[in-house]
Structure formats: structure tokens, C-alpha cells
Structure 1
């Protein structure tokens, strides 16, 4: 093609048709520029398509993360809700030896808790994606705000709950001879007497209730609502 255009130019020059030569040369340049612009536009379209596909893959991973989290939240809420009546029974000062005979859950009521953390694989990929825009893209702003808020909140709550459990075990280990029996799940009259008669136990139960059935359950309920909002936005984006 280049040889063809060169031959036309040479013929025009040899025939002395200088004006036509320059017009042709200009037209040839215009055609070349148009060709370059078309090629650039096609390349831009391809890059935009690839970027959209990559972003949709990240959005789908976020959807998977959130769906998994939303399946786990009800189990933890159920765990806390099932404990709540027993904890309140103790806090109100109604615990008796008969309670231990009728319900063995009282023996290890504050000996463990269920922690929860959001899955962040999709979010981390979005943060590292070159096409991310956390300043003007409405969906991405909401995603970022969600994870920044609740990751920080959950980290703090999980740490408080862990510190609370550690405080219980450390104190019992240093002060009570029934502690080894408690660890292996063996019934102990010493622990029963402590839990009924010692105000320290009621205080520890109250603290456990406040953290797990109060702060943590409230955070999980809030996360469930906000996560569903994010899911709706992501599903709309990936269906476009």
C-alpha cells in the first residue's frame, strides 16, 4: 500500500502537477492520521473492555465474600441469643444449684465466645485495582466506607472479647483450686459455690453479656443490613 501511494506521488511530480501533488500528500497525511486515531480508539475500547471485565471479576468476588459473611452472621447471633436468658438469670441474682442440675450449660457459660471478621479478599483486590476510584465512584465509595468502618469496629470488639476471656481465666487460675476441673469440663462444687456466692462472678457475667450479647450482636445486626445494601449495588453493577 505504501509503495502504491509513493508511485502516485512520483507520477504527479514527474508530470509537473505540483499542486495536485501537495493536495494528494495532504490527503494522504489526513488518511494516515485518521487511521492512527481509529487504531487508538479501538485500543482504548479494548482496554476499557478489559478493565470492565477485571472490575466485574472483583465485584463478583466481593459478592461472594459478602454472601459468605451473611451466612455466618445468623449463627453467631443465634449463639449469643441462646445464651442471653441464662446470662440475665445470673445477673439478676437468681442462679441456684438446681440450675446446674437442670442445665449443664451454666458450667461453661462465659468460657468462650464467637468472634467474627469480614472476608476482605475482594475488598483488597479492589483497593489494589488501578481503575478504582474511591473519590467519585459512588459504589466504590460505599464499599470502601463499609469495610473501613466495620473492619475497625470488629477488630476492636474481638480484641475486647478476647481480653475479657483472658481476664477470667487468668483470675481463676491464680485464685481457685477448682480451676483444673473447670478446664476439663468436670463438675465442681467449688465452681458452683463461687458462681452463686461470689459477686465477682456476677460482674464477669455482666461484662460478658454486655460485650457479646450487646455490642457485638448490635454490630452484627448493623453489618447485616449494610452488607445487603452493598450486595444490591454490586449485583446491579455486574448485571449491566
Structure 2
């Protein structure tokens, strides 16, 4: 093709047809420019497609992260909401032996530790150009890490400290950790601590505040469950557009 155009130029010059040569040269330049523009446009389309595929892959991973975290948060919420009526009986000073059968001795026996799934979230953080959805997702996860996980640490620390306290001060510690405590299968000394001990009641009341009061653990869990649930259809919308 290049040889073909060169022959045309040489022929026009040899025939002293300068005006025609000039028009030809301009036309050749225009063709080159058009070719460059087409190549740039194709390259731009390819880059856009690559970016679109990258975003789709990231948001697919983010969606999976949110699904897993929602399941974990809902499991944790259900666990502590199941305990709440027993906590409230202690709070209202309505402690009776039947509460042992309902888990009174285990109110301060199990903490929780949420491991946030952040594979997709970390990929969002690395994007140079973040859209509003990406910024919203990052903000939610930053707040979960600082607010929710901090509340979990406080609750778990108190529970661990209580277990150590019982271990170091009561002979029935081995009995307590070796079986499910019921009113008909436990020693009088153990029952006396959980049914009538002021220390245990005060610890339970404090744990209740850390778990259920405003801005503490369960209210935070409820908020983030709602927020993550709201983000899911927005991510689905992005993924559906990518597939169109």
C-alpha cells in the first residue's frame, strides 16, 4: 500500500502536476489522521471494556463479601437476642433457679469475633477512580471496623476477664466449664454464685449495657445489617449493566 502511494506521488511530480500533487498529499494526510483517530477510538473502546470487566470482577467479589458478612452478623445477632430475655431477668432482679436451665451461667461464657470479608473491598480501595458506590461501600466497612469490631472487643474482653476471675477464685470452675449447667445437675456453691452472687449480677448488667444499649453492639449490628442489605441491589444494578 505504501509503495502504491509512493508511485502515485512520483508520477505526479514527474508530470509537473503540482496542484494535483498538493491535493493528493492533503488527502493522504487526511487519511492518515483518520486512521490514527480510528486506532485511538478502538484503543479507547478496548480500555473501556477492560475497565468495565475489572469493575465487574471487583463488584462480584464485593457482593460475595457482603453476603458472607451479612450471614455472620445475622448469626451473631440471633445468638445474643436469644439470650436477651435471661439478661433482662437478671437486670430486673427476677433471678430464679429455672434460669439455670435457660443459660444463666453462660451469659458471660461466649464472646464473638467477626472476621470481615474484605477481598473485594480491598480491591475497591486500590482503584484510582472510585465511583460513589465504591466510596459508600468503603465507608461502611471502615465504620464496621472502628465501631462494630471495637464493640465486640469490649464485650469479649469482659467475658474473658470473668472466666479468668472464676478460674482463679472458685473451686467449681472445672464443673462450670465441663458441662451444661442446669438446676438439677450442679453444686450448691456453683448455683449460689449465679443465683445470688452480687458480683455476677453486676457483671451481667454491665454486659447487658455493652450488648443492647443504644450505640453499642446489637444496635450497631442491626444498623450495619440494614446498610449492607441496602447496598446489595445497588451492586446488582452495576453488575446487570455490565452484562448488557
In 2, Cα distance between the equivalents of 1:163 and 1:76?
A: 17
Compared with structure 1, are the counterparts of its residues 179 and 231 closer, same or farther at alpha carbon in structure 2 (3 Å cutoff)?
A: same
Counterparts of residues 68-83 of structure 1 (less than 5 Å): 68-83=68-83
Contact 2:155 2:210 in 1 (8 A): yes
Match of 1:119 among 117, 120, 126: 117
Distance 1:98 1:39, change over 3 A: closer
CA RMSD of aligned residues (A): 1.8
For residue 37 of structure 1, what is the aligned residue in structure 2?
37
Equivalence for 1:60: 60
Aligned length, in residue pairs: 234
Partner residue in 2 for 1:150: 144
Q: Distance in 1 between matches of 2:89 and 2:159?
A: 20
Q: Does 1:216 align with 2:217?
A: yes
SS in 1 for 2:103: helix
Q: CA deviation at 1:114?
A: 3.1
Q: How far off its partner does 1:180 sit?
A: 2.3
Equivalent position of 1:160 in the other structure: 154
CA contact (8 A) 1:182 1:188 kept: no
Output one character per residue of 1:87-133: Cα deviation in whole Å (capped at 9) or x when no partner.
11122222233543xx1522322100333343211111111234x32
Equivalent residue number for residue 180 of structure 1? 174
Secondary structure at the counterpart of residue 239 of structure 1: helix
**C-alpha distance in structure 2 between counterparts of 1:138 and 1:99, whole Å:** 50
TM-score normalised to the size of structure 1?
0.89
Cα pair 2:112 2:156 within 8 Å, conserved: no
Quote how far apart the aligned CAs of 1:212 are. Answer: 2.8
Residue of structure 2 equivalent to 1:12: 12
- Distance in 2, Cα, partners of 1:106 & 1:147: 34
CA contact (8 A) 1:117 1:151 kept: no
- Name the residue aligned to 1:226: 227
User: What runs of 5+ residues in structure 2 fail to find an aligned partner?
Assistant: none
Q: Which runs of at least 4 in structure 1 moved beyond 4 Å after TM superposition?
A: none
TM-score (norm 2): 0.88
Deviations 1:162-212, CA, capped at 9 Å, x for gaps: 211121122222222222222223733222112223211011111222223
1:84 aligned residue: 84
Distance 1:163 1:113 in 2: 8
